[in-house]
Amino acid sequence: MDWFWKFPTMDAETLRGVKKSIDEGFRGFTRAYGSDIEALFSPLQSFLIWSERLLTGTPWPIIIMVIAAIAWLASRSLPIVIGCVFTLFLIGYFDMWADTMKTVSMILVCTVVSILIGLPIGIAMSRSNRLQNVVNPVLDVMQTMPSFVYLIPVVMLLGIGRVPGVIAVVIYAIPPMIRLTNLGIRMVDRDVLEAADAFGSSGWQKLKNVQLPLALPTIMAGINQTIMMALAMVVIASMIGVQGLGQPVLKAIANQYFTLGIFNGLAIVGIAIIFDRISQAYGLRLQKHREITHD
């Protein structure tokens, strides 16, 4: 009766052979096409270097004023503006400004890339139920896969560095952007779409002038979630050479530096709160504007 209690498994030698074949195939692929793939991502590297130099090279008062202006334009809320400025002052006072700017530059690049990739995919999903049925399981796998696993193929293809870190972060953070773009466009009132058809709008005009503006609050929620997930990946991405607040946290874990880890962790939390409050306030304003316009 031992066979009843023991789960049937593949023969150990066969399983070892299958794993070895897959590993050798992937290594062969990286050796053959790794340099071409690396060249493909050179514009991304240039964009990342430019954004990092911009943020780290700009004097801190200008950065704080720009963020305060963005917070005011997005929220029209003085408490949110004061909270953002106070958080940035604390980060600078505790000597974490340079690492914070490197992290912010990476998050900005990851968010822009996620929008450029996720928005068209979300729009395409909203227009095709068949495509939605194909993409949704892929997104489910992407969201449930342990974040460390994303580092393995990226490092094998591109090695250690900032660009592999950005790619891993984008893969981890892009599903909410795709899902909420699809959801927002599908939620647009059919009566409004019929009115657009009655006025003779083309498919592109309907998308540009009706669907995207009405779906913008939901799309902003997707951007918000993408930013939050990208920030959650900062420490893990530091394991493959991504500079910023994640590296001191990783150093604190390795050397048991309690205060170093806590301070940099709180800085990540502070940046997350700033991004979250600004994007949520802007999405809420868009929602109120849509309701007033609809009424």
Higher pLDDT, 115 or 13: 115
Q: For position 112, which CATH number holds?
A: 1.10.3720.10
Residue 7 maps to a domain: no
* Cβ pair 117, 171 in contact under 8 A: no
Residue 8 lies in a domain: no
pLDDT tens per residue, range 162-192: 888 888 888 888 999 999 999 998 888 888 8
Residue 226 lies in a domain: yes
Which of 135-162 are b and which e, b meaning 16 or more Cβ less than 10 Å from the residue's Cβ?
Answer: beeebeeeeeeebeebbebbbebbeebb
Least confident interval from 11-20, 77-86, 94-103: 11-20
Ranking 50-64, 66-80, 191-205 by mean pLDDT, the lowest is 191-205
Q: Using the predicted structure, report yes or no on whether residue 233 has a pLDDT greater than 70.
A: yes
pLDDT at 10: 67
Whole-model pTM: value is 0.84
Does the pLDDT of residue 224 top 80, yes or no? yes
**Cα-trace Rg, the chain:** 23
Most confident of 105-119, 138-152, 206-220, 250-264: 105-119
* Residue 3: inside a domain: no
Flag the least confident range among 24-33, 85-94, 263-272: 24-33
The answer to whether 109 touches 41, Cβ cutoff 8 Å, is no
CA distance 134 to 151: 24
Residue 227 lies in a domain: yes
pLDDT tens-digit series, residues 251-291: 887 787 888 888 888 998 899 889 888 888 887 777 665 55
- Residue 128 is predicted with a pLDDT of 87
Q: Is the pLDDT of residue 4 over 60?
A: no
Count of domains in the chain?
1
Domain of 105, in residue numbers? 14-294
